[in-house]
Each structure stands twice: as C-alpha cells, then as structure tokens.
Chain A
Amino acid sequence: MEFFNRMIGRKKSAGNAKERLQLVLIHDRTDLAPSALNAMKDELIEVISRYVEIDPTAVSINIAKEGRSQRLVADIPLRISNRRRLK
C-alpha cells in the first residue's frame, strides 16, 4: 500500500493534516480570511505604486509563524526606474 501510494505520488495523510492545520490555525488565530488578505494586498499595491514603481505580479504577502505569534510579511520587489535607466 505504501509502495502503491508512493507510485501514484499520493502523500501520507499525516502530511496533509499538518499542512491543512498550519493554514487553518493561521486564519483562526488572526481572524483574517484569505479573501481579506488578498484585498489588503491589492490595496497595498495601489498605495505603494503611487510612490514607487513596483511589479504588481511579484508582490507576495504572507503570514509567518514564530511560535504562537504571527507576523505579516510582505515582499515587494521594486522596479528599476526608467528615468534612472536613461541617465
């Protein structure tokens, strides 16, 4: 059975349980639904774009876990400004 599962690439169920719990617990603890996180991301992109040029598709916002506390981590790569490039 184990061999068979590995052949068809099915994951062990404990791994499923852990992954699913990691996500569920983040949202339970922060009371922040995935949809709210996405809305926040869109608004952040909009605000930041007013000041600096960024690549909206490369922006990622995640909740990172440290023990029982969570932190919001945003990774926002900046684009090299066109004006600079021309100089």
Chain B
Amino acid sequence: MTAKVATVTSGKGGVGKTTAVANIAVGLASLGQRVVCIDGDIGLRNLDVVLGLENRIVYDLVDVVEGRCRLRQAMIRDKRLPELYLIPASQTRDKSAVSPSDMVRLCDDLRQECDWILIDSPAGIERGFRNSIAAANLVLVMTNPEVSAVRDADRVIGLLDAEEKGPVHLVINRIKPSMVKRGDMLSVEDVLDLLAIHLIGIVPDDENVIVASNRGTPLAFDNKSKAGMAFHNIARRLMGEDVPFVDVENQGFLQRLFSGRK
C-alpha cells in the first residue's frame, strides 16, 4: 500500500475545510479505501468534533512527533466504517511544535499503512499551512463564491505554484443557486474563470452541514443530502472516476424545463 497524501487548504478561514476533510474521508472510506485524516490545525483542533471522535482522544499529532507514543496509538478508528482513522491535533500546543520535515517523516511512515492520508490544513499561509502541504501529493484548494475567499484562494494557489506542489484542484463550497440565479453571487464559471485551475468539486450551501456537525456525523454518511452527494462525488473523482458535475445552479425541475442551460 502506498498512500496518496491530499491536503485541503484555503487561505481564508471558515470556508469549510474541516467539513470537507471529514466528508471526503467518509466518501473514500465508503469506497473501501483505508483512510487516515490528520488534523493539521494544532492549537485549534476541530476535525475530532466534526467526525464525532472527540471523546476517544488519548494521543495526538504532537505526541507522535515528539515520540511519546507510536503512530498506531494516535490513530483513532472510526467504528462506523471499517477503515477510517483520525490523528487529532494537539489542543495545548501551537504550530511550531511540528515542522514540515516532521510531517514528511510521519506521512512516509503512514504511507505503507493506508490508501489515503487527508490533511486538514489550518487557515493562513504560515507554519501550519507549510506543515500541511509539506508531504502533499495533491492539494485541494477550497473557496466560497465570495470576494475575500476567492482572493485568498488565488494567493494560496500562487504559493503552491511557487513551491511546485501539485496537482492543485479547486473545490467551490457553499454555492447558493438562488443567489447565483439573481446575479448576486459569483457563479461556478466566474470563479473558474478567475482562478483558472482544475475543478474537482462543487458543493451547494446546505443547512444539513450544521446539523451534521452538531451530531458529529458527517453528511456523507447519509447519501440523501445534496452537499453529502457532492462530497461523495469528490471522493470518486479522487479515485480517478469521471463523475459529471451536477448543475447546482439550475437544479429545480421547472428551472430546468424553462432554462436553455443543460
């Protein structure tokens, strides 16, 4: 087994990185993949609560790096799927507790044990970001259809370019079809035109995301919600499947009937 390391990052905070990591991980694990998620946000850990695993933490990422436990001991297994694991961030330390080379070493050890390593990068372009991309084989840049998120995504894409990290794929999160329709939100096409990178996912805005994080059960466990489906589709695209994009901006039956768009 040689895992691929995929880092989810964004520049701007609050665009949905942690939700995406949790859901894409669930998507990949439900395709039979062995997945390890790493929370790269040392000091502000959250992936554990989004996945509903917060009560089972004994050791964390910093414990592994500093040799207080073996890698295996810090891997919390999610019992809802056969092969889904989390390595949580430390809550009491800061980003300087881990270096980019620590992350490369850790991922090299982990690569033999799984198919995918998903790293949840913190917001920003400093140490935590550098740590999170150090071992990446591919990077998912998340953005929202909103000026500051797009600008920060562009900055991050530029930095990844300069570091020759890639391939880089774009995930556009929180599209509100009704706002796009009335011309008050950047469309998928607008964002793609501005950022000019490969698109791997379009996720509609969905209140269920909050319900899911309230419960600690990522949406992707249940296939019914639109956002959950969108994350499953990203997982399938990561597996190399050619999954057509759902036209989230024109979803209603009547809208489809009367609009000229496909």
Contact of A13 among B150, B161, B183 (CB under 8 A): B183
Chain B: which residue is nearest A25 at the CB level?
A: B154
The answer for the CA separation of A21 and B192 in the assembled complex, in Å, is 12
**Which bucket holds chain A's interface residue count?**
10 to 19
Q: Mark A24-65, 1 if CB is under 8 A from B, else 0.
A: 110011000000000000000000000000000000000001
Q: Mark A1-32, 1 if CB is under 8 A from B, else 0.
A: 01000000000111101101110110011000
Chain B: which residue is nearest A65 at the CB level?
A: B196
Interface size on B, residues (CB 8 A): 22
A12 near B157 (CB under 8 angstroms)?
Answer: no
B194 within 8 A of A: yes
A15 near B183 (CB under 8 angstroms)?
Answer: yes
Enumerate chain A residues within 8 angstroms of B194, measured Cβ to Cβ: 18, 21-22, 25
Distance (whole angstroms) from the CB of A41 to the closest CB of chain B: 25
Enumerate chain A residues within 8 angstroms of B187, measured Cβ to Cβ: 14
A18 near B161 (CB under 8 angstroms)?
Answer: no
Enumerate chain A residues within 8 angstroms of B161, measured Cβ to Cβ: 68
Q: Tell me if B's interface is mostly helix, strand, loop or mixed.
A: helix
Enumerate chain A residues within 8 angstroms of B182, measured Cβ to Cβ: 2, 12
Chain B: which residue is nearest A68 at the CB level?
A: B196
B147 near A21 (CB under 8 angstroms)?
Answer: yes
B183 near A21 (CB under 8 angstroms)?
Answer: no
Distance (whole angstroms) from the CB of B188 to the closest CB of chain A: 12
The answer for the CA separation of A54 and B41 in the assembled complex, in Å, is 57
Chain B: which residue is nearest A12 at the CB level?
A: B183
The answer for the CA separation of A21 and B185 in the assembled complex, in Å, is 13
Contact of B180 among A14, A28, A68 (CB under 8 A): A14
A28 near B183 (CB under 8 angstroms)?
Answer: no
Q: Mark B112-150, 1 if CB is under 8 A from A, else 0.
A: 000000000000000000000000000000000011001
Chain A: which residue is nearest B187 at the CB level?
A: A14
Enumerate chain A residues within 8 angstroms of B147, measured Cβ to Cβ: 17, 20-21, 24
Enumerate chain B residues within 8 angstroms of A65, measured Cβ to Cβ: 196
B186 within 8 A of A: yes
B242 within 8 A of A: no
If the complex has contacts A18-B194, A21-B147, A68-B161, are A28 and B155 also in contact, measured as CB distance less than 8 A?
Answer: yes
The answer for the CA separation of A22 and B147 in the assembled complex, in Å, is 10
A14 near B154 (CB under 8 angstroms)?
Answer: no
A14 near B186 (CB under 8 angstroms)?
Answer: yes
Residues of A within 8 A of B (CB): 2, 12-15, 17-18, 20-22, 24-25, 28-29, 65, 67-68
Known: A24-B147, A25-B194. 6 other contacts (CB 8 A): A2-B183, A12-B183, A14-B180, A14-B184, A18-B194, A28-B155
**10 tightest A-B contacts by CB?**
A12-B183, A67-B196, A68-B196, A13-B184, A14-B183, A18-B190, A25-B154, A17-B147, A14-B186, A21-B194
